[in-house]
Amino acid sequence: MSKNLSELSGRKGLNKNLFEELGIAAVATGSPSQENLEKIRDEFLVGKSTVFGTVSFYDFLKPENTGKKVYVCNGSACMLAGTQKDLHKKLETQFGADEIGEMCCLGRCHENSAFHIDGKNYSGNDIEKIKQIKEEKTTSLETYHVASKGTPILTSDYGSIAEYYTTFSDCLKKSPTELIANLKDSGLRGRGGAGFSMAFKIESCKNAVSDSKFIVCNADEGDPGAYSDRYIMEHRPHALLMGMMIAGYMAGADYGVVYIRGEYPESVDIISACINDLIKEKLLGENINGSGFNFNFKVIKAQGAYICGEETALLSSIEGQRPEVRVRPPYPTQQGLFNKPTIVNNVETLANLPYIFKHSGKAFASIGTEKSSGTKLISLDSYFNRPGIYEVDMGTSLSIVINELGGGFKKPIKAMHIGGPLGGLVPVNKIDSLTIDFDSFAKEGFLLGHASIVCIPEDFPLIKYIEHLFRFTAHESCGKCFPCRLGSTRGYELVEKAQKEDYKIELTLMNDLLETLETGSLCALGGGLPLPIKNAMKYFKTELAPYFKK
């Protein structure tokens, strides 16, 4: 990460954003032309290597994306459901092979057969209407189950804007110090995977001295199988936006950036429309409600890179740099976007703030467990009888989620990948020993993460799933650190060779590789990959034995 490039990118602020301009230049053909790149480079005073390094990284900007008209979801849930090969064949009746690309994950895990055309997502039976979709630009009528068990914080209806935002107006009448104390009482921990204290981040940013600060919503946490963030942005968008506004007031930030996955185009449109509604209600801008607090939003559409779910890579992305993970310290709350103090939190974390400041931090802390307060959204994939989004109090039995809310499995399942590609691989015999909270999962050697549940059916070879995880990491690695960049590639090469040739993997070699990834990687992409693979090797020794030396 270059501090000088951060300063250069920040010269124009967020109104004219380098990364956004690169995306706009790619709209017509799928990748920016050299002529457009030169114009952008001259305008922002950055070098050719910087612009090339950025454009060549993203799935939706790189030259290989030129001419693509339709994209097939290659996420874990769709792969395990086995729908995408047939989907691809049906798309080939309307598109040439060179016009079909890939996206990872469209968040349609509840029904699979997911694909993307002309800025819209489709899934389920939509493929049967592919000719009509192509010619008439019809949209998808997507539905999935939404329910709660316990306290409905994120799944309850919040009414009109005027009524809902009285909580924000009340916050403006109190001091940031008083609000932070209330937030500390809540015990709110980040819902993106790390489970870090939100109050600590807010206070750290508040105490930093700077002429400007930022609140960044990480809506690019694209764990295949997780669509809870998408649910909030498309069905409870004002919970997120008000959460960012309250966080901005507490930290002394005057700008909120919502960085949304390019794979979620509907979310981009809905959040943008809701921000316009707030402007009409005079809840954004200068001196809001006569409080002296100024706040505005910027929506940025990402361009296809899983690593941007890592907070420092996301900041580099907004600045138009190659999204490589930054070495810490300094931490974003000290030196983040454009080298200014910045708070980065995911969608679900921020969306909890309106409830906390309406009902009090202590009321929030009374829900869940001592160390995992509040509720958690769960994403269930298509292997459940009732797939969808469910909200449960922290500490709820995993068995209740699977059997009562999800209605059990449609077919025999041997394991569940919970918490995204870097989460734990949980065998079905562990269902009764787990509860939905950070500590329960950590104690059993797993990771709650996003709390998405992707099912692995009994007839799917686990060795193929391990290869899939290594390949996913190799493709999504930012490339900055050797353990992740090289280790993930060596991993899938080993596993592929064991399947295709007369070759057995040495257990010591695999363990050394996993240890190197775990301890030497700069971020959780390389560092988290070993967890599900270790789980597989521990709980499915018999199935994997043919691929390893005795």
**Residue 103: what residue type?**
M
Q: Is residue 79 part of a domain?
A: yes
CA 423/CA 469 separation, integer angstroms: 11
CA 228/CA 107 separation, integer angstroms: 9
Q: Is residue 150 part of a domain?
A: no
* Whether residue 334 is found in the same domain as residue 253: yes
The 10s digit of each residue's pLDDT in 511-542 is: 999 999 999 999 999 999 999 999 999 999 99
Structural domains in the chain (count) = 5
CATH number for the domain spanning 219: value is 3.40.50.11540
Residue 448: per-residue pLDDT: 94
Residue 8: per-residue pLDDT: 76
* Whether residue 47 is found in the same domain as residue 106: no
The 10s digit of each residue's pLDDT in 72-87 is: 999 999 999 999 999 9
* Whether residue 183 is found in the same domain as residue 84: no
23: confidence class by pLDDT, cuts 50, 70, 90: very high
Q: Is residue 370 part of a domain?
A: no
Angle between helices 482-500 and 507-520 (to 10 degrees): 160
Cα-based angle 117, 270, 87 (whole degrees, multiple of 5): 25
Residue 362 has pLDDT above 90, yes or no: yes
* Whether residue 468 is found in the same domain as residue 542: yes
- Tokens 């931090």 sit on residue: 361
What tokens were used for 533? 């693979």
* Whether residue 291 is found in the same domain as residue 322: yes
Residue 236: per-residue pLDDT: 98
* Whether residue 210 is found in the same domain as residue 278: yes
pTM of the predicted protein model: 0.96
For the residues 107-115, what does the mean pLDDT come to? 97
Last residue of a domain, one of 35, 50, 65: 65
Q: Is residue 148 part of a domain?
A: no
The 10s digit of each residue's pLDDT in 32-45 is: 999 999 999 999 98
Q: Is residue 188 part of a domain?
A: yes
* Whether residue 222 is found in the same domain as residue 208: yes
Other beta carbons within 10 Å of 163:
9
CA 479/CA 58 separation, integer angstroms: 13
For the residues 181-191, what does the mean pLDDT come to? 96
For the residues 283-309, what does the mean pLDDT come to? 96
* Whether residue 410 is found in the same domain as residue 277: no
Strands 255-260 and 296-301, bridge-based pairing: parallel
CATH number for the domain spanning 420: value is 3.10.20.600
197: confidence class by pLDDT, cuts 50, 70, 90: very high
Sign of CA dihedral 154, 159, 165, 166: negative
Within 13 A of 218's CA, how many CA atoms are on the CB side? 29
The 10s digit of each residue's pLDDT in 406-438 is: 999 999 999 999 999 999 999 999 999 999 999
Spatial CA neighbour of 419 closest among 281, 226, 272, 228: 226
* Whether residue 138 is found in the same domain as residue 171: no
Q: Is residue 149 part of a domain?
A: no
* Whether residue 294 is found in the same domain as residue 206: yes
Q: Is residue 203 part of a domain?
A: yes
* Whether residue 427 is found in the same domain as residue 518: no
- CB 9, CB 18: distance < 8 Å: yes
Range of the domain at 451: 375-457
* Whether residue 324 is found in the same domain as residue 471: no
Cα-based angle 534, 538, 543 (whole degrees, multiple of 5): 110
Residue 345: per-residue pLDDT: 96
CA 531/CA 447 separation, integer angstroms: 8
Phi first, then psi: give them for residue 365, nearest 5 degrees: -65, -25
Spatial CA neighbour of 14 closest among 327, 315, 312, 270: 315
137: confidence class by pLDDT, cuts 50, 70, 90: confident
- 3-state secondary structure (DSSP) of residue 325: coil
Residue 3: per-residue pLDDT: 73
- CB 9, CB 44: distance < 8 Å: yes
Q: Percentage of residues in the chain with pLDDT exceeding 70?
A: 100
Other beta carbons within 10 Å of 454:
32
What tokens were used for 237? 């968008």
CA 67/CA 29 separation, integer angstroms: 6
The 10s digit of each residue's pLDDT in 437-470 is: 999 999 999 999 999 999 999 999 999 999 999 9
Angle between helices 198-207 and 237-251 (to 10 degrees): 40
CATH number for the domain spanning 88: value is 3.40.30.10
Last residue of a domain, one of 457, 487, 522: 457
CA 532/CA 78 separation, integer angstroms: 19
Last residue of a domain, one of 30, 65, 100: 65
For the residues 192-203, what does the mean pLDDT come to? 88
Residue 2: per-residue pLDDT: 65
- CB 400, CB 423: distance < 8 Å: no
Residue 466: per-residue pLDDT: 98
Q: Is residue 317 part of a domain?
A: yes
Other beta carbons within 10 Å of 289:
13
For the residues 360-371, what does the mean pLDDT come to? 97
**Residues near 141 by beta carbon (within 8 Å), at least 6 away in sequence:** none
The 10s digit of each residue's pLDDT in 257-288 is: 999 999 999 999 999 999 999 999 999 999 99
